[in-house]
Amino acid sequence: MRRGLAAAVVVAALTISATACSGGSSGSDTSGPVTITWWDTSDATNEAGTYKGLVADFEKANPAIKVEYVGVPFGDAQTKFQTAAGSKGAPDVLRADVGWTSGFAKAGFLAPLDGPAAAAESAKFKPNLIEQAKYEGKLYGVPQVTDTLALMYNKELFATAGITTAPANWDELKAGLTTVKEKTGVDGFAFNPQSYYAMPFLYGEGTDMVDAERKQITLNSPAAVKGIDTLNSVLAAPGIRKLDTTSNAYANIMDAFNNGKVASIIQGPWENANVFKGAAFKDKNNLGIAALPAGSAGQGAPLGGHNLVAYAGSDAKHQEASQKFIAFMTSAPSQVKAALANGTLPTRDDAYSAEVTANAGIAGYSKLLAGGKPRQALPEYSSLYTPFETQLIKIVSNQEGTEAGLDKAAAEAKKLLPEFSTQ
């Protein structure tokens, strides 16, 4: 999911109604063959092959339906779908980040999925994930994969440094960095300066970017300032890897971790398959997965993932085919197949078979899901990551003070949420 959060701002399009749009085909005839288009935003290298295989399985089981598979880079998909939906050219089905679902639903881009065709087995899904796929009480997505952030660490390097348990708080992590560097010569921790990876520092102080219920922007609250100050203290600790703010930061950090050049990172299960290809994790048991260190108010990590959503502008024939496809792709057998091949976490309890939970990566992350913090039910929520990240990079690069930077981020958030108050 998080190979780079989409930076698009969807608010400008939220007044556009897609209910008047029609998809690639017109008419309501439900007889005869139909071709639907699916935009898949999964990783082209490590995940897409599995989903292409599932498309073939679906077409074999449903010979009257063909699926045009289109791989769309995750970082481009939010803006691309928004543009396509506004100009009557959107795909019938989209693999959407959970943070996009409510915004697209508010804009009228998505068809409700409450009926039996797509969501007949919704009771078998994890309840918090179903709630995260709703907007104003209606279901607009069916969860395909889920995730949360954790501390990924190299057990061998930690053991060499005499660290036998994962750090419980950020002070313990900072102390461990020095020891790892001294004992192994390897950097103890690397941080990816994207806003999503900074969210645990806000949650750890009991706050978020916004309080939707109170209609208040909290990006510059005292708690948020404390959280980012804590992050800065970690980044200043001896033994940390030099901060990378280049466009290749994500790939550079993952390469360093996978090859044993850094001992720990904040990461999600979408990287499981890639990590196990690394030289440092040929023995999969060397990968440690633990809850993130806590702040003064406790531990917190975002609950993420992807929903399959259907375009509201498609005609009746395509709507029906799309719902069948969504049901198939989110079924227990399909989720098991994806989990075994890609190392991703299923969204329904009956997909956690013994074979799936034998995967070290899945077993480690699945234990942390219950503590994941769901996105707030605010259509503009995912757009808030952009102003936060712009200022975060300046703050952690010592180009801006924490309070001043977060004040600027809050001011930009206010433009997205003019009815909200600020601190």
Q: How confident is the model at residue 86 (pLDDT cuts 50, 70, 90)?
A: confident
Give the per-residue pLDDT at 12. 32
Pairwise CA distance, residues 117 & 326, whole Å: 9
Give the per-residue pLDDT at 310. 97
Q: What integer is the mean pLDDT of 98-103?
A: 93
| Paired tokens of 317 | 């024939």
Give the per-residue pLDDT at 2. 43
Q: How confident is the model at residue 16 (pLDDT cuts 50, 70, 90)?
A: very low
CB 21 within 8 A of CB 104: no
Give the per-residue pLDDT at 80. 96
Pairwise CA distance, residues 301 & 370, whole Å: 10
Q: In this predicted model, what pLDDT tens digit does every residue of 107-156 receive, in sequence order?
A: 999 999 987 777 789 899 999 899 989 999 999 999 999 999 999 999 99
Q: How confident is the model at residue 411 (pLDDT cuts 50, 70, 90)?
A: very high
Structural domains in the chain, CATH included, are 32-147+304-373 (3.40.190.10), 148-302+378-416 (3.40.190.10)
Give the per-residue pLDDT at 120. 86
If you search the block for the tokens 């259907």, which residue do you land on? 310
Q: Give me the chain's average pLDDT, please.
A: 91
**Burial class of residue 105 in the structure, from the number of CB atoms within 10 Å of its CB (0-12 exposed, 13-18 middle, 19+ buried):** buried
- In sequence order, the β-bridge partners of residue 217 are 210
Q: Would you mind telling me the total number of residues written for the chain in this entry?
A: 423
Confidence check: pLDDT of 11 > 70 = no
Q: What integer is the mean pLDDT of 313-328?
A: 96
Torsion of CA 43, 6, 95, 331, to 10 degrees: 70
| Paired tokens of 332 | 């227990």
pTM: 0.87
Helix boundaries (H) for 294-401? 316-329, 332-342, 354-357, 360-366, 385-396
* Beta strands 134-135 and 138-139, pairing class: antiparallel
Confidence check: pLDDT of 30 > 70 = no
Give the per-residue pLDDT at 31. 58
| Paired tokens of 143 | 């969860």
If you search the block for the tokens 């930076």, which residue do you land on? 7
**Burial class of residue 48 in the structure, from the number of CB atoms within 10 Å of its CB (0-12 exposed, 13-18 middle, 19+ buried):** middle
- In sequence order, the β-bridge partners of residue 311 are 110
Range with the poorest average pLDDT among 10-14, 293-297, 314-318, 394-398: 10-14
